[in-house]
Copies of this chain bind each other. A is one copy, B any other.
Amino acid sequence: MDQTQAPRLQPAARLMLRESVYESLKRLLMDNALEPGSRLSIDGLARELEVSQTPVREALFRCEAEGLVVRRPNAGYLVAPLITRDALLDLYDLRLLLEPTAAARAATNATDRDRRDIKDAVRAMGPAVHGDSYQAYREFAEEDAKLHTTIATAAGNPLIAETLDRLRAHVHSYRLYFRHGIAEVTTTEHQAISDRIQAHDPPGAEQAMRAHLENSRTRLLAAYDETF
């Protein structure tokens, strides 16, 4: 019964190692633990995370597809730079095409379950602002993303929700606010959207969402311009 093999700290963790590496990397990136523009060496990450290179490469591959890192052929990966001002405007432009419509549809199509989820998501965001730490804002950003996703899902076309998720708007704003400092948070705008959806008021929901996005864009641009 003696172990002739070298002892394994993690005996072949069958829990989808590539996923956990991806999550670890994403967290490192989102928390700005890695400076935008700095290099990401494959086996450096492998050593740091104590896994082999295979799952690291797959995680980087995925992050590249999501725009979190950029690849230079035969020269490794870099942490993706912060979103530019122009790209930020494009992002909100697209959101303004999709989300007000989604909110209006949610006001008619949402199931009771959907409406409850939306109400819960708004309520969950109140306490998240308490702490002054980055961690607190991070939680807020995640809750915010969840609310918008819930509304888009309630609209009835899953493709719209997927498309919005893919924009990772909350990642960009989080990374910006991280540099600028904690932003004030407006629960009232979210409350207004939820109210109009609960009231089965499509035009109201659409308008509330549009106003929220436009205000959000203004706040984020102000943060951007103050930082740079």
Q: B-contacting residues of A (Cβ < 8 Å)?
A: 14, 16, 57-58, 61-62, 65, 73-74, 87, 90-91, 93-94, 97-98, 101, 157-160, 163, 166-167
Is there contact, CB below 8 Å, between A94 and B62?
A: no
Residue with the highest number of chain B CB atoms closer than 10 Å, among A57, A87, A94: A94
Q: Known contacts being A65-B65, A98-B97, is A158 close to B90, with CB within 8 Å?
A: yes
Task: Pick from B93, B157, B160: contact of A157, CB below 8 A.
Answer: B93
CA of A57 to CA of B53, assembled, Å? 14
A147 → chain B closest CB, angstroms? 21
A116 → chain B closest CB, angstroms? 24
13 CB < 8 A contacts A-B: A14-B74, A58-B61, A61-B62, A65-B65, A87-B159, A90-B157, A90-B159, A93-B157, A94-B160, A97-B160, A98-B98, A163-B166, A166-B166
Is there contact, CB below 8 Å, between A157 and B94?
A: yes
